[in-house]
Structure 1
Amino acid sequence: MTNTIPQDLPLRNDLIGEVPYGAPQLDVPVCLNVNENPYQPEPAVVDEIAERVRQVAPTLNRYPDREHTALREAFARYLKRESGVWLDVGQIWGANGSNEIMLQVFQAFGGPGRKALGADPTYSMYPEYARDTFTQWLTVPRRDDFTLDLDALLRAMGREKPAIVLLTSPNNPTGTILPMDDLEAVLKASAEIGVAGAKDGVHPVVVVDEAYIEFRDPGMPTALELLGRYPNLAVSRTMSKAFAFAGARVGYLAASPGIIDCVRIVRMPYHLSAVTQATALAALEHTDEQLAQVSHLRETREATADWLKHQTWHGQPLKVADSQSNFLLFGGSFDDRDRIFDELLKRGVLIRVVGPEGWLRVCMGIDEEMARFREALTEVLAQLEHE
């Protein structure tokens, strides 16, 4: 999209030259670029959603429950089932996607003179939350295998005294999981340092973004299990990914009541519409159906990773980052990844140019889509190798 902003508009100086964030939305047969669950809701779920919306439609002349209490109760029941962690309503907060959750976190704890610290490569929206809230965004590099360099992060925490330490598990775009021992080390360190621009005795908030956590292998822990021991921990979740609900835009935060109350200060009044709340409640009533394909998508991820590792580029096997998500970062040595992306797109397959140079990311689709991806990538690599 071209920039059509007139020069005489008083756009903030720091936004001049910026373009809106977003992955390409193209009408192609195989879309494997935005990490969606590719399986549509079952007809019973669609019917339940329609019925719930029909029930609230006559009340749309009134504002919705601004505390979305019923939805928070439903989130609590889901988290108890999914992770074995029981939380009170006061420990949960919902919003329009985890994007809004993260923006509210930055609004509450960031701001002029404040810093947020992450580990690169990571989700490309984090710098934009920081920019939009006048928060300084800092990162430490991950190791070559994309695992967290814990020592580097702890040193940066002590040096920079951030208000927010933001870690992602599984990490986007790499799929890397965050070990609980590393997270505990970060949480313990955060209790010993101050926050630049804050009064004495204030400590950083540690936020773990678990947007893709349902795709982890069974038995792997979640940061939710540490909430009872660390009051400065906050865990972000979403219904967009494993829950097959990206179009509904529903995310939520689990944290101490104190953190939730801080976020409530900056939320817009009635930010979750009655329709959004009804839709989310209907989907949560059908958790089994919504998550029915998660195990198959895990299997697809593992099979695709194995297949990619047997492909070559300039005589060397492709690298594939270890992933606990529904996507794979692959390549590692592509000297013109944009050309590979374009050639795949010509064949009707849309993936993502993201992450470090030399890498591409593909998310898991239905079986027929993955077959077409494999076929197209084989053609493209062979063509470019012989040019």
Structure 2
Amino acid sequence: MTDQLERLNRLPLRENLRGLQPYGAPQLDVPILLNVNENTHGVPEDVRQAIVRAVEQTVAGLNRYPDREFTTLREQLAGYLGHGLTAANIWAANGSNEVLQHILLAFGGPGRTALGFPPTYSMYPLLAGATGTGYESGSRAGTFDLTPESAAEQVAATGANIVFLCSPNNPTGTALSLDVVTEVYEAGSAAQAIIIVDEAYAEFAHRGTPSALALLPGRERLIVSRTMSKAFALAGARVGYLAAAPEVADALRLVRLPYHLSALTQATAVAALTHSARLLENVDEIKRQRDRIVAGLTEMGLPVAPSDSNFVLFGGIEEPRTVWQGLLDAGVLIRDVGIPHHLRVTAGTEAETTIFLEILRSLIRPNLS
């Protein structure tokens, strides 16, 4: 036992938190960072200047609390999403993780259970534990697929109060059909389950891939969560949001901290949304590099999970840690997500993609499984 862990265990920590490790990917200073699915293109200069002007105007009023209802931001987000949504359907917080935390605080807690389908976003069980919510892990097919029948059967069998459906899924990149969402929603009726469709990477989906936003009318227990971290290149701004029935936002008002979105955060997000078309210009280029990665990995003989996101999960690696370290030694950081014989890489710029593929190709032959 480390000294740090020993000191921690002397504190009256909640029992369900003992032994847990905090979430965190390596934050290393290397030339090419392709490990946490950031938008490596950054914010265009003209949008950057617009954000700076908006923040500068806001600074004069920092002695006052921000708009507690972040009304302008909710109006802008509703307009961006479309689907007939209004500000009443929108909630936002400091990153989509805080959005999910608000949901768990309102609808989870002691005596209630959340269900996820690993491999999926590793924050789901951590957020559940932090809010005193039980967590159960469902199962997927060996190809990482989740069928409507299997998902619905598992929801009904567990009686889960909250269900996480990540689409496109992190870390596999696979998108769910809307049939999965509708079947899960119906299967959760007996428990009045809240169904969360986490669409953090929705903007990167292949053309024609449907969004669960289309399913919101008439489904008051359905929530679609999004983020401005990825497609909008605003990971550092920490802006996540959701769309749902207005009563869901009313429930979340009961658990949010007062004035939880700072005036600077609101100003940044509103300015970015005003220039959404400009910010999203890079999305098509990122998708091209993702597809280029898929093609390159396939040429190397590596199995690749179908990706509707800005990252690619690939397998066939006998010693993932060795390959991961070899890439890091060459200045490229990707992600070991803990799936045997697999690694995950973010689609970066054309130059970053070229370097990644060239280095991987040099490392891969002695490490094929």
- Shift of residue 70 of structure 1? 0.5
1:137, distance to aligned residue in structure 2 (A) = 1.0
Cα shift at 1:116: 0.7
**Partners of 2:94 and 2:239 within 8 A in 1:** yes
Asked if the contact 1:66–1:269 (Cα under 8 Å) also holds between the matched residues in 2, the reply is yes
CA distance in 2, matches of 1:45, 1:12: 45
Is contact 2:114-2:128 (8 Å) kept?
yes
Q: In 2, distance between residues paired with 1:384 and 1:266?
A: 49
1:368 to 326, 351, 364: 351
- The corresponding residue for 1:197 is none
Number of the residue aligned with 2:313: 329
Shift of 1:156: 2.1
Cross-structure match for 1:200: none
Q: Which residue identity is paired with 1:233?
A: L
1:347 to 330, 355, 361: 330
Distance (whole Å) between structure 1 residues aligned to residue 360 and residue 80 of structure 2:
39
* Structure 1 residue 4: Cα displacement: 3.0
SS of the aligned residue for 2:281 comes to coil
TM-score normalised over the length of structure 2: 0.96
8 Å CA contact 1:121, 1:355 repeated in 2: no
Distance 1:367 1:237 in 2: 26
User: Distance between the aligned counterparts of 1:338 and 1:106, measured in 2?
Assistant: 34
Residue matched to 2:223: 234
Work out the CA distance in 1 between the residues paired with 2:367 and 2:176.
36
Task: Work out whether 1:254 is the aligned partner of 2:252.
Answer: no
1:40: Cα distance to partner? 1.6
Shift in CA distance, 3/273, structure 1 to aligned 2, threshold 3 Å: farther
Q: Would the aligned equivalents of 1:32 and 1:362 in 2 still touch at CA under 8 Å?
A: yes
Asked if 1:4 corresponds to 2:4, the answer is yes
Spell out, residue by residue over 1:81-129, the C-alpha distance to the aligned partner (whole angstroms, 9 max, x if none).
Answer: xxxx121211100100101001111111111110111211100110101
> What letter is aligned with 2:138?
V
Q: Is the CA contact (8 Å cut-off) linking 2:151 and 2:180 kept in structure 1?
A: no
Counterpart residue number, 2:281: 292
TM-score, normalization: structure 1? 0.91
Corresponding letter in the other structure for 1:338? R
Q: Could you list the per-position Cα deviations for residues 181-232 of structure 1 after superposition, in whole angstroms to 9, with x for gaps in the alignment?
A: 22111122222x12xxxxxxxx111110000000011222100001013121
Question: Distance in 1 between the 2:109 and 2:234 partners?
Answer: 31
Does 1:318 pair with 2:298?
no
Superposition CA RMSD, Å:
1.4
Matches within 5 A, 1:1-387: 4=4, 6-7=7-8, 8-80=10-82, 85-191=83-189, 193-194=190-191, 203-311=192-300, 317-331=301-315, 333-382=316-365, 384=367
Distance 1:46 1:19, change over 3 A: same
Cα deviation 1:45-68 (Å, max 9, x = unaligned):
111111111111111111001110
Partners of 2:330 and 2:145 lie apart in 1 by 34
Give the aligned residue type for 1:218.
Answer: R
2:318/2:367 contact within 8 Å kept:
no
Separation (CA, whole Å) in 2 of partners of 1:304 and 1:142: 25
User: Aligned partners of 1:287, 1:118: CA distance in 2, in Å?
Assistant: 32
Residue identity (%): 48
Kept in 2, the 8 Å contact 1:320–1:330? The answer is yes
Amino acid at match of 1:161: G
Asked if structure 1 preserves the Cα contact closer than 8 Å seen for 2:224 and 2:244, the reply is: yes
Structure 1: state its 5+ residue gaps.
Answer: 195-202, 312-316
Corresponding residue of 1:199 = none
Distance 1:26 1:209 in 2: 27
What is the aligned length?
Answer: 365
- Unpaired runs of 5+ residues, structure 2, are none
